[in-house]
């Protein structure tokens, strides 16, 4: 279970406990902990998006280098036959 999910579950339990015991402070603590869990999930998702983007950029750069190497090889072949 992710940290975010754990916080959301624990927060929901605290919120429910607060409602059942008429403890407003405990209820608010639970709501806050759920918000922390949501923030952690969003941060994790954003981090995954950044990692994917960096990987894509690296792949694109590698492809471009390969294309340039192929072009250099063709130019060298033409020069050798001329």
Q: What is the pLDDT of residues 48-64, one digit of tens each?
A: 999 999 999 999 999 88
Give the start-to-end residue ranges of the domains of the chain.
3-81
Q: Is the Cβ–Cβ distance between 40 and 3 less than 8 Å? A: yes
**Span 7-52, pLDDT tens digits:** 999 999 999 999 999 999 999 999 999 999 999 999 999 999 999 9
Quote the pTM value.
0.68
Report which DSSP code applies to 22.
Answer: T
């Amino acid at each position: 279970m992710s940290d975010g999910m754990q916080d959301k579950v624990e927060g929901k339990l605290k919120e429910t406990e607060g409602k059942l015991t008429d403890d407003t402070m405990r209820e608010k603590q639970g709501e806050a902990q759920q918000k922390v869990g949501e923030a952690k999930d969003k941060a994790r998702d954003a981090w995954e998006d950044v990692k994917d983007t960096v990987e894509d950029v690296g792949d694109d750069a590698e492809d471009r280098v390969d294309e340039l190497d192929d072009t250099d090889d063709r130019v060298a072949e033409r020069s050798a036959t001329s």
